[in-house]
Amino acid sequence: MIRHSIAAALLSFALVAPALAQENTCQDDIAKIDQALKTQEIDADRRAQAEDMQSQAVQLCGAGNTEEGQSVAAEAKMLLGIDQ
């Protein structure tokens, strides 16, 4: 009985861990973009584009579309010259 409970707990963690890792990556990317927007001097057009991409990434990641959110965040990071 205890073995089944332990096995079930491990299986649950194995299924949830990748989702948590992607969520953290989304949050990390969004934080990097936010920091760059606060510290970099960039023209108004690039700033507006990066802010829009950041907003899209936040919405996508928050809705569970982490892969698409990470893709948008990666584009924003490239625009801002942030390391991948």
12 pLDDT above the threshold of 80: no
Distance (Å, whole) CA 30 – CA 17: 20
Q: Which domain holds residue 72?
A: 21-80
CA atoms within 13 A on the CB side of 19: 9
71 pLDDT above the threshold of 70: yes
Residue 11 is predicted with a pLDDT of: 42
Give 24 or 50, the one with higher predicted confidence.
50
Supply the mean pLDDT for the chain.
81
Distance (Å, whole) CA 69 – CA 44: 23
Instruction: Flag whether 2 is in a domain.
Output: no
Q: How many domains does the chain have?
A: 1
Residue 6 is predicted with a pLDDT of: 56
Instruction: Flag whether 31 is in a domain.
Output: yes
Instruction: Flag whether 1 is in a domain.
Output: no
Those residues with Cβ within 8 angstroms of residue 54's Cβ, 6 or more apart along the chain or in another chain: 30, 33, 34, 37, 73, 76
